Amino acid sequence: IGIDYVLDVASLGASGAWPRTTTLSRNRAREKRLAKLGALEWRFVRGAEWTPAIFADMAAIEAKSWHGSSGDRKFLPGKCTYFWRNLVTDPAQAERMRAALLYVDKKPVVFSFDIDAGPVKYEIASSYDPAFGKHSPGNCLHYRVLRAAVDEGITTVDMGAGDGGYKRESGAMAGPKIVDCLMVRSGWRAPLAKLLAWGWRRSGRS
């Protein structure tokens, strides 16, 4: 159902060629343009720093983004946000949950949400306010998150599937294919599942 993009920050950092000078220069220019719209505040959240206000800010951003009308919402009211809000009550899990947000004149504009598991960072979700889209706030925040990850000893960033453009720009490479698997019990369900699998393959969407 998609291709997983993986960034090997350990080898890129060791080469001394990451991030590229052109990328850093481009992001500095973007941040200068954003600063003309108001005071910039970069906020990084983990562990005990999680508060209901942080979840509310991420939901406000998500509501304005294309995710707000999709089925892939993470922080707007629903099962997903209920799951994350409950998970953060466990101190060990809260420490693994990371959020980064950019505020312009105290207004939440963009966020990224990740899970750190040892030396691997898993990018879970990100959204931005389209009113600021021409200034690429997502790219600016993304590189700050990656830089902080390197400083904390993260060696690999799993960026997931979708929108390979900005992921390749950051140095990520196409990794393993993501496959959906449906498992059924033996008995009458098994031959039915085989028939459905045959039809799924013929549909061209497998």
Mean pLDDT for all residues in the chain: 87
Which residues make Cβ contacts (< 8 Å) with residue 9, sequence separation at least 6? 18, 146, 149, 150, 154, 155, 156, 157, 171
Alpha-carbon distance 138 to 102, whole Å? 9
Has residue 187 got a pLDDT over 70? yes
* Residue whose token pair is 């990371």: 98
Give residue 13's pLDDT band: very low, low, confident or very high (50, 70, 90).
Answer: low
Give residue 35's pLDDT band: very low, low, confident or very high (50, 70, 90).
Answer: very high
Give pLDDT tens digits for 105-142. Answer: 999 999 999 999 999 999 999 999 999 988 889 889 99
Both tokens assigned to 172: 């990520």
Both tokens assigned to 31: 């941040």
Mean pLDDT of 81-99: 94
Mean pLDDT of 52-60: 95
Q: Are 61 and 128 in contact (CB under 8 A)?
A: yes
AA letter at 168 = R
Which residues make Cβ contacts (< 8 Å) with residue 119, sequence separation at least 6? 153, 154, 155, 156
Has residue 44 got a pLDDT over 80? yes
Has residue 16 got a pLDDT over 70? no
Taking the CA atoms of 83, 3, 136 and 22 in sequence, report the sign of the dihedral they define. positive
Lowest mean pLDDT among 57-61, 66-70, 115-119: 66-70
Both tokens assigned to 65: 């983004």
What are the C-alpha distances in Å from 30 to residues 20, 101, 104, 129, 193? 16, 16, 13, 15, 51
How far the first Cα of the chain sits from its last, in Å, is 7
Alpha-carbon distance 58 to 64, whole Å? 10
What are the C-alpha distances in Å from 2 to residues 102, 159, 160, 161, 166? 29, 12, 9, 6, 16
